[in-house]
Amino acid sequence: MGVQQVELPPELDALAAQVKVRRQPVKGAQHELASLLFQPPAAAEGLIVYFPGGGFIADELELCEPFCRVLAARTKLAVLASSYTLATEQPFPAAVEDAHAVLSWASRYCKRKGWNAARLIVAGLEAGGNLAAVSALMARDRGGPALAAQILMMPMLDPGLTTCSMRTVAARNGGVRAANACAASYRDYLPHAIDRAHPYASPLQSSRMKHLPPALILSADDDPLRDEAEHYGAKLIAAGVPTTVRRLAPIALDDPNARCSCARKESALHEVETFIAGLRPDAAS
């Protein structure tokens, strides 16, 4: 959950350089939010809204730039990486309300560009994966915006920290430190115990999983977040939501940017690219 910049692998650096990026203010639920808009080399065919990690307490917008550059180039979609209200400023539900507001802004942006509404995708990493999942729930519950898909990368979905991987993760790869960081993040994000059962705070506890957009869920072996990601995928599948769940290789969680680095690797990018390429225009329900 650190914020230092991480380099791209050399083979992806040239690809990232082809993508144009500019700062794009976006209207949040209560105030303007900082965001970065990435334009692929060829004409974009839609938009991915991406929420960075940071455990709800750190602004990692700048840290996600290398990944978002490659994501835009590989998928031929524009990417909007957006900040959100941090728990240190205002706890739940401020961040999730921002996330839904950003999706609404993005939907209007797509319409101005003349893009098919079915090409709006929400994605996120870690805490951002939580916001991506929750904003998909909110879009369903509030009648929009329509989403083509949700991409959840090593998401934080269980504030109760009850999964087997969270309890038994091996200490040798920094997993205990990562689990403790998750617990500390939730203390700031969800200071009121009653909120921890709310489906917009704990998507894994949601009992209403139908009518959600197709999902790609990436977990990582030896990551304490592994089981909650995979359990969420199983719930989506049981509800009839087209869902792909992939477990990536172990990551060295003693590095605070481990998940961010993992998302940049070829295996993760390949899974995301393949999933998006397989989406039909009418995939969202």
Q: Domains in the chain, please, with CATH?
A: 10-277 (3.40.50.1820)
How far apart are alpha carbons 76 and 82 in whole angstroms? 19
Which of 2-16, 57-71, 128-142, 188-202 shows the lowest per-residue confidence on average (mean pLDDT)? 2-16
Is 176's pLDDT higher than 50? yes
Distance, first Cα to last Cα, the chain? 34
Q: In Å, how far from its chain's centre is CA 2?
A: 17
**Mean pLDDT computed over 27-49:** 95
Q: In Å, how far from its chain's centre is CA 156?
A: 9
**Mean pLDDT computed over 131-137:** 98
Residue type, 71: L
**E runs forming strands in the chain:** 20-23, 26-27, 32-33, 35-39, 47-51, 78-82, 120-125, 149-153, 215-220, 243-248
pLDDT-derived band at 4 (thresholds 50, 70, 90) equals very low
The three-class DSSP label of residue 217 is: strand
Is 19's pLDDT higher than 60? yes
Q: Which residue(s) pair with 49 in the sheet? A: 80, 122
Which of 38-47, 74-83, 190-199, 265-274 shows the lowest per-residue confidence on average (mean pLDDT)? 265-274
Burial class (CB in 10 A: 0-12, 13-18, 19+), 34: middle
Going by their DSSP bridges, the two strands 26-27 and 32-33 should be labelled as antiparallel
Reading the block at residue 170, the tokens are: 């091996």
Is 35's pLDDT higher than 70? yes
Nearby residues of 112 by Cβ (< 8 Å), 6 or more positions away: none
In the chain, pLDDT over 70 holds for what percent of residues?
86
